[in-house]
């Protein structure tokens, strides 16, 4: 075998073997459910406030990876009010407060 034939076999060999060891596309977006789970499957104790986006025109909270506005539902809860660092939820007749940061971590300048 000459050198060109060996190089061709080395380059084409893995492709001829099929998709037995297919690589995952690194540019493919990840599925948020892998990190945050599905909003419908969360119990009341597993709500996680991750972010609050606030402007004069609107307020949006990110809870369990899902963006919600005041009045919208996430799972069994309804978003009552979005404040600067907390969100009030109403779930099954109870009012729940989700804090962006625990009070013990907040520091005022």
Reported as a single tens digit per residue, the pLDDT across 76-109 is 899 999 998 899 999 888 999 999 876 555 566 6
Please identify, in words, the CATH class of the domain defined by 38-109: mainly beta
Flag whether the pTM goes above 0.75: no
pLDDT for 46: 78
Domain boundaries, the chain: 38-109
pLDDT for 82: 95
Buried b (16+ CB within 10 A) or exposed e, 39-63: beebeeeebebeebeeeeeebbbbb
pLDDT tens digit string along 15-65? 555 555 567 777 776 665 555 455 444 444 578 899 999 888 999 999 988
């Amino acid at each position: 075998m000459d050198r060109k034939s060996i190089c061709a076999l080395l380059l084409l060999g893995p492709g001829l073997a099929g998709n037995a060891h297919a690589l995952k596309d690194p540019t493919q977006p990840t599925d948020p459910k892998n990190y945050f789970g599905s909003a419908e499957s969360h119990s009341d104790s597993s709500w996680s406030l991750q972010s609050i986006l606030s402007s004069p025109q609107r307020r949006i909270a990110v809870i369990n990876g899902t963006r919600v506005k005041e009045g919208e539902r996430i799972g069994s809860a309804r978003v009552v009010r979005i404040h600067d660092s907390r969100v009030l939820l109403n779930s099954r007749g109870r009012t729940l407060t989700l804090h962006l940061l625990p009070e013990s971590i907040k520091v005022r300048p």
